[in-house]
Chain A
Amino acid sequence: MLLHLGTRKGYLALRRFGKGDWRSERTAFIGDPVSQLLPDPRDGRLYAALNLGHFGVKLRVSEDRGASFTELPAPAYAKDETSSEEAPSVDLLWCLEPAGPDPGSLWCGTIPGGLFRSDDGGRSWALNEALWNQPSRERWFGGGYPHPGIHSVLVAPDGERVVAGVSCGGVWISEDGGESWRVRTEGMFAEYMPPEQREDPAIQDPHRLAWCEADRRRIWCQHHNGFFRSDDGGETWTSLDVPPSSFGFAVAAHPGDPQVAWSVPLVKDECRVPVGRRMVVARTRDGGASWETVGRGLPEGDSFAVVYRHGLDVHPGEAVLAMATTTGALWISEDLGDSWDLVTAELAPVYCVRFDPP
C-alpha cells in the first residue's frame, strides 16, 4: 500500500510495511509547495500540482510512479484583450480528478474559480466555459483566499455525471460531462451571511464533497456552516449535527458503505483548532443519524492540528484511513478510525494525502 503526500515543502510517498510501519519511499520537489496530487488509477501516471511562490502554478507528471517528473503546461486563462487588471490568472491548482474512462481525460479545479479539462493527459487544457459563464458566478467569493475556487470534483465512472464543489459558490451538477450545469444547494444555509442571502445557492461554501463509490446518491459535505448529507446525488441536502462541532474542512466517505463517513471537527470558523484542543475524528455508521468521536492514539490535548480539505483520504479497497495535518503529522487508522498510529510528526504542513489506487 502506497500513500502520496503533497506538503508545503514537497512531495513524498510512503509505503506500508506493517501496521503503523510506513516508510518514506521517495521524495520530489523538496522545498516547493505541492498543492494537489493525482495517482491516476487508469494508467498509473502520477500528476503533481505545484504552487511555486514566485514563479506560479506548475503541473508535472510522472510516468514511473514518482521516480521522475516532466513538466506539463498548467491550466491557464486565455488572454483578456481588454488588458484589465482584473483579468484572471490561475492562482492555485486545487483539485485534479480523472474526467471519465479515457486515460488522459482530466478535470482540474482552480482558484480563481475556473474548471479546466484536458483530454490529452494534461498536454493541453481548456476552460469549461459552461460553468465559467454562469451568471451567478459573479456572486461567488473567496473563502480563505482572495478568490473563489473549485476544490472537489466528483466524477461518475462514465464521466457524464459530475458534481463540483466551489468555495464559495455552491454545489454544481452536470449530467453531460460538463456541457451544462445546474446549482443545487436546497437545504444548505449560511448563517454568517445577511438574511436575504443565507440560502442563495451561489454563496454556499461547501468545504469538501465526498461520495460513496458504491452508492453515489449518498454525498457528504463539510460546509463552512455545518455538515450536510445528500441522499439524492446532490439535489437536496440535510443538515446534520456532528459532535463535538459541525465545523471543519475534511470529509471522507466509506467506499463501500454509504452509511459510513468521517469528518475532523474544529471549534468554529473564527477559531480553527480542535475542540478543547483535543484532536478527534467524528464518525457515523448509520448514515449520519448519530455520530461518535473516535481517535484512540491521537493527542489527548494541546493540539493545534487542522486537517485541510484534501488532508483525509480512505483507501478505495481496504478502508484504511490516512489523515495529515497543518502541524506536519501523518496519522493512519486501520480500524475505520477507532485508533490511529502516528507515522511521522516531522512533515511540513500537509495539503493533500492520496492513496495509490489498488
Chain B
Amino acid sequence: MPSVHFTPNLRRHLLVESTEVEGQTVSDALSRVFRDNPGLRSYVLDDQGRLRTHVVIYVDGRPVRDRTALGDAVGEGAEIHVMQALSGG
C-alpha cells in the first residue's frame, strides 16, 4: 500500500501521522486519509479540492503534475510526502 507522510509543521495545528492507505492516485490516497481525519483536508486542499498554492506533494521524490485533480498515479509501495512549499508563508 502507498504510505502518506505529512510535513511536521502541520502538527502545530492538528494531529497528523504517517499512514498507509489504499489508492491508485494521489487523490484516492488522500481521500482515505481525510476520511479518518476530516479536519486535515482544508489544510492541504482549497475549497475546490485543488492543492493549496503553497503546498507541494511528492510521489517517490517527484512533485505531482496535476495540482487540480491530483490524478497522478501512485504505485504499490509509493511514498507520498505532503510538504509545504518554500514559497509563501
Contact = CB atoms under 8 A, between A and B. Distances in A.
A193 interface: no
B39 A88 contact: no
B18 interface: no
A53 B48 contact: no
Contact of A77 (B13, B47, B84): B47
A53 B88 contact: yes
B5 interface: no
Given A54-B55, A58-B13, A85-B68, A79 B43 contact: no
Interface in A72-86: 73-74, 76-80, 83, 85
A132 to B, nearest CB: 13
Contact of B42 (A53, A54, A56, A87): A56
Contact of A71 (B14, B85, B88): B14
A56 B84 CA distance: 12
A56 B43 contact: yes
A55 to B, nearest CB: 4
Contacts of B43: 52, 55-56
B85 A89 contact: no
Interface string B39-80: 100111011111010110000000000001100000000000
B37 to A, nearest CB: 12
Contacts of B68: 83, 85
A342 interface: no
A145 to B, nearest CB: 14
Interface string A290-303: 00000000000000
A90 to B, nearest CB: 6
A51 B45 CA distance: 14
Contact of A89 (B10, B13, B50, B54): B50
A53 B42 CA distance: 13
A76 B43 CA distance: 12
Interface in A82-100: 83, 85, 87-90
Contacts of B52: 54-56
B49 A79 contact: yes
Given A54-B84, A55-B43, A87 B48 contact: yes
Nearest to B69: A83
Given A83-B69, A85-B68, A55 B13 contact: yes
A57 to B, nearest CB: 8
Nearest to B46: A89
Nearest to B9: A54
Contacts of B89: 53-54
A182 B88 CA distance: 37
Which of A56, A80, A87, A90 has the most C-beta atoms of chain B within 10 angstroms of its own C-beta? A56
Nearest to B67: A85
A52 B68 CA distance: 20
B58 to A, nearest CB: 15
15 contacts: A52-B43, A53-B54, A53-B88, A54-B55, A54-B84, A56-B42, A56-B43, A56-B46, A71-B14, A76-B47, A77-B47, A80-B48, A83-B48, A87-B47, A90-B47
Interface of A: 52-56, 58, 71, 73-74, 76-80, 83, 85, 87-90
List 6 A-B pairs, minimum CB-CB distance, nearest first.
A53-B89, A89-B46, A89-B47, A55-B43, A54-B84, A54-B54
Interface of B: 9-10, 13-14, 39, 42-44, 46-50, 52, 54-55, 68-69, 84-85, 88-89
Given A53-B88, A79-B48, 8 more contacts: A54-B9, A55-B10, A56-B52, A77-B47, A83-B68, A88-B48, A89-B47, A90-B47
